[in-house]
Structure 1
Amino acid sequence: MFTIRKATPEDTPVIFDLIKKLAVYEKMEDEVVTSVEELQENIFVKKFAYVIIGEENGVPAGFALYFYNFSTFVGKPGLYLEDLYVEPEHRGKGYGKTLLIELTKIAKAENCGRMEWSVLNWNQPAIDFYESLHAKPMNEWTVYRLDKKGITDLAG
């Protein structure tokens, strides 16, 4: 049985573990520099992001971490999916789709005008999955990023 629930502060070690596993899958494990304590502060105290956890028979099988952005053209908030991850042994059971559907319900309840996320160009299984749900790639946009050093340098 698969269920989805909102994460609680007690789930922070599980969230951290799933983030590390996602990073390994994405070949980005060296980029995980956060800690359980930092995640707990930023997710559950400052509420910069939100997490839902999918469980199979009470055992975490995946998660989705999201936050809200804002579209000036639409004039409404948008839900931005930062990470969606399902453990390898639980893939192919529809859990990723179920987590995504839950996010669309949240976006609808919050009157979001959009729901967006990024996918690594090499991740064809994810691209195929999202396109099977009629999600459209935004190929005319390029993502830019300032890392911590870039922010510090530019801010002076």
Structure 2
Amino acid sequence: MKFSIREAVKNDMSRVFELITELAIFEKAPDAVKITVEDLEHFGFGNDPKFHCFVAEIDGKIEGIALVYTRFSTWIGDVLHLEDLIVSQLKRGHGLGTALLDTVVKYADELGVKRVSWEVLDWNESAITFYHKKGANVMRDWNVVQLNEVGIKNYLSNI
């Protein structure tokens, strides 16, 4: 299967949003996506973009994305965070995920970051196997900790 990888442009955000929604359904959280296409367009492009996105295309249709942003580690310095690596379910197993991850790692090297990091659900064994094969360290002894909007409000009301 022939495909190409390129940097996303603003007009791609509608399809990027569709893939984000597809991932949410796969991860058993279909109502979790609160962002909109307009949010992606606003936050990804302009004077102060909050993320960088790569897309994988087959016959002119986006079938995969890798969305990243930089953050800072107090232990090692600059880090590239891979927020989402998504390949449309019907196009998995054709090398798009590998090509997208390759592109992210090359981008990280160009930026000079000290680490690329991301999360994977503990039940997503196919993704864990994929990442292990690529040489990634899947740290099962760490837990993701979050406060959502309600949690933030509750927290603030108790201080």
CA positional deviation for 1:32: 1.0
Q: 5+ residue gaps in structure 2?
A: none
CA RMSD in angstroms comes to: 1.3
CA positional deviation for 1:59: 1.4
User: Where in structure 1 do 4 or more consecutive aligned residues deviate above 2 Å?
Assistant: 152-156
Q: Deviations over 1:40-94 (max 9, x none)?
A: 11222341111111011221110011111112221x3111111111112211111
| TM-score for both structures, normalised by structure 1 | 0.93
Is residue 102 of structure 2 the alignment partner of residue 101 of structure 1?
yes
Identity, % of aligned positions: 37
Amino acid at match of 1:50: H
Q: Which residue of 2 aligns with 1:145?
A: 146
CA positional deviation for 1:104: 0.3
Task: Give 3-state SS (helix, strand or coil) of 2:31's partner.
Answer: helix
CA positional deviation for 1:150: 1.5
Cα distance in 2 for partners of 1:51, 1:139 equals 27
Is residue 86 of structure 2 the alignment partner of residue 85 of structure 1?
yes
Amino acid at match of 2:113: C
Amino acid at match of 1:136: N
Is residue 64 of structure 2 the alignment partner of residue 69 of structure 1?
no
Q: Which residue of 2 aligns with 1:36?
A: 37
Amino acid at match of 1:19: I
Cα distance in 2 for partners of 1:79, 1:3 equals 22
Task: Give 3-state SS (helix, strand or coil) of 1:29's partner.
Answer: coil
Q: 5+ residue gaps in structure 1?
A: none
Cα distance in 1 for partners of 2:42, 2:61 equals 24
The count of residues paired between Structure 1 and Structure 2 equals 155
Q: Deviations over 1:3-27 (max 9, x none)?
A: 1111111111111111111111111
Cα distance in 2 for partners of 1:153, 1:44 equals 32
